[in-house]
Amino acid sequence: MFLPPWSKYWGPLQLHPTKIDIPEEKRVELIALLQGTLTEAIDLKLQSKQAHWNVRGPDFIALHELFDQVAGIVEAFVDELAERMTTLGGVANGTLSFIAEQTNLPTYSAELVSGAEHVDALSSSLASFAKLVRENIDKAAELGDADTEDLLTEVSRGIDQQLWFVEAHNHADA
């Protein structure tokens, strides 16, 4: 049986009983894929709040509101990802210690102050997360789970849009 990398924290994955018609071995792989996505989504949400709370400079209010919007959108995706995991019979792990240990997003510096610094850091994390999500869309398709694939496609569209909004602040006025 496939053991996800985070199994060292929980041991072998124990599925909750469900009558969903996806074979157990595929559900284990899908849950692992979703846990990886969930882990990075939670980190991204926290990074967005870090930017929201600490941004300074002439674009303060625009960026303060934008970063809060990003955090809210990512938070909605966090919930959808976790609920898909539990639908498949899994357990979603969103504890701070687990997320800190497992995330692969770029580290977000607590030293950032200016709007430009926050825009650069947050856009890098958004882009990294978007790449992971697109890779996981393909994996969900290979596993034959159109519902997880659809959820991840929704996440991909939403994150790409937020990346566009954040990156727009890096472009000089025309």
Q: Number of C-alpha atoms within 13 angstroms, CB side, residue 171?
A: 8
In the predicted structure, residue 95 carries a pLDDT above the cut 70:
yes
Binning pLDDT at 50, 70 and 90, where does residue 10 land?
very low
Q: What pLDDT was estimated at residue 1?
A: 42
In the predicted structure, residue 37 carries a pLDDT above the cut 80:
yes
Q: What pLDDT was estimated at residue 27?
A: 95
| Lowest mean pLDDT across 6-15, 71-80, 160-169 | 6-15
Q: Is the pTM of this model over 0.85?
A: yes
Binning pLDDT at 50, 70 and 90, where does residue 150 land?
very high
Thinking of the domain 21-170, which architecture would CATH place it in? Up-down Bundle (1.20)
Q: DSSP assignment of 92-108, as one string?
A: ----HHHHHHH--SPPP
